[in-house]
Amino acid sequence: MSLFRVLLAIIFPPLAVYDRGCGSILITLILTGIGWLPGVIAALVILNKNS
């Protein structure tokens, strides 16, 4: 997990997980729509899980 990805996950979470698959993008996009913090947490978990 690079520093660029972490910053991107904080700024716009769905863009940080664009190469992890459509499901990851959808989950992160929905959670970001609900609230910014759940989207950030989901993006960081997805990035950490697949690194």
Q: What is the pLDDT of residues 25-36, one digit of tens each?
A: 999 999 999 999
Tell me the pTM: 0.88
User: Token pair 């997805």 is at which residue?
Assistant: 46
Q: What integer is the mean pLDDT of 7-36?
A: 93
Q: Tell me whether residue 51 is exposed, middle or buried, using C-beta atoms within 10 angstroms of its C-beta: 0 to 12, 13 to 18, 19 or more.
A: exposed
Running DSSP on this structure, what letter comes out for residue 17? T
Question: What are the extents of the domains in the chain?
Answer: 3-49
